[in-house]
Amino acid sequence: MSITLTTGRLVQINGVTTENNTQGANTGYAVDFLGNTVTFNFSIGSGAPAAFNIGVFNLPVSLTVNLATGAWTSTNGSSGTIGAGPLANFVSQTKAIRNTVETFVAGNSVMAGTQVAWP
């Protein structure tokens, strides 16, 4: 899934269209379990959702969410709070992914041992 931008970013040089970025997409994220935050990275480009290509004239945006309170801020100046229901759902999914990865690592000699699930 991607984001069809309300206002795309048309780039013209000397009157010639160089690119027309009409979609945005989450291109990655990092969870800091100790800091209890997650940061999502978004880029603009075209070709989504089948084959998203980041534009040369990309305007990246990062969104950081506090996983305890739901407070969020973005690098383009927006902020707010995620509702309790959606936040609880996301935290639950994130813990499930963490448990799955730790189980894989413990069982495949990356860090041999026994994984203990996070509640």
Q: Answer whether residue 111 is part of any domain.
A: no
Give pLDDT, residue 94: 95
Look at residue 110 in the predicted model and tell me its pLDDT. 95
Q: Within a domain: residue 46?
A: yes
* Exposure letters 34-61 (e unless 16+ CB within 10 A, then b): eeebbebebbbbbebeeebeebeebeeb
- Which ranges of 17-113 would DSSP assign to H, the alpha helix? 84-107
113 is a domain residue: no
Domain annotation covers residue 89: no
Q: Choose the weakest-confidence range: 20-24, 46-50, 111-115.
A: 46-50
| C-alpha to C-alpha distances, 102 to 32, 53, 87, 93, 115, nearest whole angstrom | 15, 31, 22, 14, 6
Most confident of the following: 6-10, 51-55, 68-72: 68-72
Q: How many Å apart are CA 63 and CA 85, to the nearest integer?
A: 19
Is 48 a residue whose pLDDT tops 80?
no
- 104 located within any domain: no
Domain count, the chain: 1
**Model confidence at 1: pLDDT above 90:** no
The identity of residue 43, as a single letter, is S
- 102 domain-assigned: no
**Which structural domain, as residue segments, surrounds residue 26?**
3-82
| 44 vs 40: CA distance, rounded Å | 14
Residue 31 vs residues 38, 41, 67, 93, 106: alpha-carbon distances, Å: 4, 12, 9, 12, 20
* 94, part of any domain: no
Q: Report, as an integer, the average pLDDT of 12-40.
A: 94
CB atoms within 10 A of CB 119: 5
Residue 118 pLDDT: 86
Assign 80 a pLDDT band (cuts: 50, 70, 90). very high
- Does 90 reside within a domain? no
CA atoms 14, 15, 17, 23: torsion sign: positive
